[in-house]
Amino acid sequence: MLFFHSLKSKLSNQETVFGILNSVPSPVICEMFAYAGFDFAVLDTEHVLISDDTLAHCIRAANCSGLPLLVRVPDDNAATIGRVLDAGAAGIVVSRVSSLAMANNAIAAAKYPPLGTRGISGGRNTGFGTLALQDYIDLANREVVVCLMIECINGMAALPDIVKLAQVDMIIEGALDLSLSLGYGTQVTHADVQAQIHKMAHLCQAQNVTFCAIPRTPEQQASWHEKGTKAFLIGEDRGMIFKTFKHQLDTLKQTK
């Protein structure tokens, strides 16, 4: 059955939400996110190799534990987006959106007619037939979350038009790739990079589209909060797990 667990309503009501990037694809990790209290997680299939079975198990674990799981897809490929949503994901995060056409393609792939061109299929998304197809179509068109990542110069140029699209729920900043695109390497704190990120936030807020920041320090978190930002990705699980392992090991090694 299709599970959404109120993420769309939280975004619509401008509630503050916290998410995490899932780079260690595991059903157990997804359950841990839920019980830790995250409002959503983004499972990365752009940079992470993951089998169809593992993806299905992660989505199922998230569904059963009440976690809205968004799947980050590499591009606007309609077949990929459709299969992810058919498996029960709460929504999609489309990477490297660089044009209005790409944004429109992603929306069309995620929504059924008349809002889009997604093809209908029964299965676990309809509770194997316990939810009528038309009821499922109406529910999915209302509740599936469409998020777009802006990570390049072309994406920034198209953003004023992208944020006017009615079916865009959230724009996520991609400071590192944007910095590379601007020619500043990995200098995500460079003034020009930060200026583009703040421009992104302003364009979103002007159109009542949720802007999702990725704060790298408590100071950045506080600054975004003061500016009215309501959505945050607090980092990725892979880095957090490694730092925790290393800190615990180093601490015990120093114990006399």
In the chain (256 residues long), the average pLDDT of successive 10-residue segments reads 76 96 98 98 97 97 96 98 95 98 99 97 85 92 97 98 97 96 95 96 97 91 93 96 96 88
What is the reported pLDDT for 167? 96
What is the reported pLDDT for 127? 85
What is the reported pLDDT for 216? 83
Q: How many Å apart are CA 209 and CA 186, to the nearest integer?
A: 27
What is the reported pLDDT for 2? 61
Reduce the secondary structure of 178-220 to three states and give it as a string.
Answer: HHHHHCCCCCCCCHHHHHHHHHHHHHHHHCCCEEEECCCCHHH
Angle between helices 100-110 and 78-86 in degrees, nearest 10: 30
3-state helix, strand, coil in the chain (%, to 5): 50, 15, 35
What is the reported pLDDT for 4? 60
Cβ–Cβ under 8 Å, residues 69 and 76: no
| Active-site hit among 5, 47, 57, 202 | 47
What is the reported pLDDT for 209? 97
| All structural domains of the chain | 7-253 (3.20.20.60)
Rounded to two decimals, the pTM is: 0.95
202 classed as catalytic: no
Q: How many Å apart are CA 81 and CA 71, to the nearest integer?
A: 9
Cβ–Cβ under 8 Å, residues 98 and 91: no
Q: How many CB atoms lie within 10 A of CB 169?
A: 20
